[in-house]
Structure 1
């Protein structure tokens, strides 16, 4: 169930402002459209492959076409409807200041926070709706990326692992998985020559030391 308390909707509005900032890049929509079209051209010929699950492929291609059409139908910059809303921008400006969203500074905002939750939810959904095609386009691209790669089993000796990188090991995304019973978390760093992973033991809220035991994990190199 959706959270409907004033504090929840306050947090939702802050997240919406962050999304608006990220999506304000002029080339974001173009980049997503180009990548969706590239994926469509790569996927469509697979219909002739008998080893492919055609129902899943057709469903994915339909998603790509639907989101592409909705993105093309949008005019102007992504998130312009938020930046053109003076009331929202006044709130956004004040959120950058410590204590800037007090009742004294933003009485209209606090009036909104105490409206019926259904009314606030309706407003949030209206502000979010024009951003959904961007979200759905990115979700498709990321889903394809995360599923496109090879997984290998590795062991970090005493919590440390290094892998020298070659052209065959270049990745746009790494996926690492390990069993839930290990009380450690991975810390990953890389350059064009090597990938380094250290597993740190959990030490409350502080930074843990390198895990003393051997850690078996799966690593997937993902590429579009």
Structure 2
């Protein structure tokens, strides 16, 4: 099954973009080739760019505080394990404390590193990191893999509290949904949002053998999915056949 996710607000769009970048960084750090470490550094810069949004840290701290209050309100419920509740609460509190202890924006210390900023000024230019442009960067890439990895892990470590907080928030959000199978008649599915609830994320799983791509749109009142069939060398075309897939709404 192929998973697609559709966020219903801009805050969650930012969270999902950062999650994707953190996943890419993790994959690249597990490798040893200089090219992989080059793109790991590119990814660190991309994370820092997204994380530099003025209100991002505040949004994440507010979401952690909201989850802490929600978990506290569940204490004493006989249907909920107190042990699991304590475990999740401690995790939320730990993420809040570590992120709140960071001064300024996430990754701010990277901007104070003159060597990194020299690389960053050239890294977005096609071929801008050649040895004749950045000899110091070329020398760094020529070091032993473990030395480059140590530097990359140090730089990525300044972004770790934000990463851990986002991972926890998205995990808690995804666990709020209940999957259901739905049918798209002639390639179109529409569903009115249940009243009284504010949803943040739609998760859609579809069988890859159907060779269909979902085009998702939605707001607080209605969600719509139009199925498209990929065409080689041209835009995907609307599907006119019935098909089914799994949908999960998360709040």
Structure 1 and Structure 2 fold alike (TM over 0.5): yes
The range that moved more, 79-88 or 166-175, is 166-175
The CA deviation at 1:118 is 0.2
TM-score by length of 2: 0.81
SS at 1:123's partner residue? helix
The Cα of 1:45 is off from its aligned counterpart by 2.7
2:58 equivalent to 1:39 = no
The number of equivalent residue pairs is 223
The 3-state SS of whatever aligns with 1:120 is: helix
Deviations 1:111-132 (A, max 9, x none): 1111100000000000011211
Counting only pairs closer than 5 Å after superposition, residues 95-110 of structure 1 correspond to structure 2 as: 95-110=123-138
Corresponding residue SS for 1:200:
strand
Match of 1:207 in 2: 235
CA contact (8 A) 2:204 2:246 kept: yes
Q: Give the match for residue 153 of structure 2.
A: 125
Q: Distance in 2 between matches of 1:202 and 1:26?
A: 39
Whether 1:137 and 2:165 are equivalent positions in the alignment is yes
Find the structure with the greater CA-based Rg. 1
Question: Following the alignment from structure 1 to structure 2, what is the Cα–Cα distance between the partners of residues 94 and 11?
Answer: 13
TM-score w.r.t. the length of structure 1 is 0.90
Distance in 1 between the 2:35 and 2:109 partners?
Answer: 24
Q: Which has the higher contact order (CA 8 A, sep 6+)?
A: 2
Tell me if 1:172 matches 2:200. yes
Verify the 8 A CA contact 1:170 1:221 in the aligned structure 2: no
Gaps of 5+ in 1: none
Q: List per-residue Cα deviations over 1:34-53 (Å, max 9, x = no partner).
A: 21111111112323111113
Asked whether the equivalents of residues 190 and 223 of structure 2 are also in contact (C-alpha less than 8 Å), the reply is yes
Structure 2 residue aligned with 1:153: 181
What do you get for the CA RMSD once the two structures are aligned?
Answer: 2.0
Q: Deviations over 1:173-214 (max 9, x none)?
A: 111112343221211123555432122224357533223432
> How far apart in 2 are the matches of 1:169 and 1:200?
29
Deviations 1:24-63 (A, max 9, x none): 1232222211211111111123231111133332221111
* Cα distance change on mapping 1:74 and 1:216 into 2, 3 Å: same
